[in-house]
Chain A
Amino acid sequence: EADIYQTPRYLVIGTGKKITLECSQTMGHDKMYWYQQDPGMELHLIHYSYGVNSTEKGDLSSESTVSRIRTEHFPLTLESARPSHTSQYLCASSDPGSATEAFFGQGTRLTVV
């Protein structure tokens, strides 16, 4: 069973607010990922991390930022939310190595009004 948790599961927030989506895993995985999925669309990688103090931008440009101060924690922040940020955000983690499976959190469904 995957031990990766995202909070909140659902968030409705007003335009201009700062928000942080939390992602934590207890598996000691070095690699962590954030994906964004707009309704009916594909899963896009927006951020990833190889380990503590390492963060990289993914394939889809995003106004969000991430940090990785601890192995188990990979929060995503939007400084000023906009309706265009409305989407589902999924966090995942894996061991190092290209042939290791990733484990996904339950996702955060964000609506900016």
Chain B
Amino acid sequence: ILNVEQSPQSLHVQEGDSTNFTCSFPSSNFYALHWYRWETAKSPEALFVMTLNGDEKKKGRISATLNTKEGYSYLYIKGSQPEDSATYLCAPNSGGSNYKLTFGKGTLLTVNP
């Protein structure tokens, strides 16, 4: 199991603001990091799966970076929109055929119009 910390726990921003939040994990024994978005009344949906140190992935206005040496990943949202309101979950894992997908507590983002 990789212990994971997500911060902040919750965040309120205005429409149009850019924002970011953090997923921290032990840097040893790391293999991959997953980011998911979970909107109210819907199922969690994968945003990114990242494995390489220094990797940066982008999907529309959302991007993520990964630092495996220091054990953190940032998720950025540029120009937040109300539809970005959701809980953002990260799940690091140590790989291997027997890995299990366990999540942090998440960051609850609310974008006010």
By a beta-carbon cutoff of 8 Å, the part of chain A in contact with chain B is: 2, 33, 35, 42-43, 45, 48, 50, 56, 58-59, 90, 92, 94, 96, 98-107
**Can you name the residue of chain B whose Cβ is closest to the Cβ of A100?**
B49
How far is the CB of A107 from the nearest CB of chain B, in Å? 7
**Can you name the residue of chain B whose Cβ is closest to the Cβ of A43?**
B103
Q: Which of A2, A42, A96 has the most CB of B within 10 A?
A: A42
Q: How large is the interface on B (under 10, 10 to 19, 20 to 34, 35 or more residues)?
A: 20 to 34
Contact of A45 among B34, B36, B101 (CB under 8 A): B101
Q: Is the CB of A59 within 8 A of B102?
A: yes
| Docked pose: A91 CA to B44 CA in angstroms | 10
Q: Is the CB of B46 within 8 A of A102?
A: yes
Known: A33-B101, A59-B1, A92-B101. A98 touches B43 (CB 8 A): no
Q: Which of B36, B49, B100, B105 has the most CB of A within 10 A?
A: B100
Q: Which of A59, A90, A102 has the most CB of B within 10 A?
A: A102
Instruction: Check B93 for interface membership: any CB of A closer than 8 A.
Output: yes
Q: Is the CB of A99 within 8 A of B104?
A: no
How far is the CB of B9 from the nearest CB of chain A, in Å? 10
Contact of B31 among A33, A99, A107 (CB under 8 A): A99
Residues of A within 8 A of B62 (CB): none
How far is the CB of A41 from the nearest CB of chain B, in Å? 8
| Additional pairs, 11, CB under 8 Å, beyond known A45-B103, A48-B100, A98-B32 | A35-B103, A45-B101, A48-B101, A50-B97, A90-B44, A98-B93, A98-B96, A99-B31, A99-B32, A101-B49, A107-B43
Q: Which of B97, B101, B102, B104 has the most CB of A within 10 A?
A: B101
Contact with A along B28-59 (1 / 0, CB 8 A): 00011010100000111110010100000000
Contact of B97 among A35, A43, A96, A100 (CB under 8 A): A96
Q: Is the CB of A98 within 8 A of B45?
A: no
Instruction: Check B82 for interface membership: any CB of A closer than 8 A.
Output: no
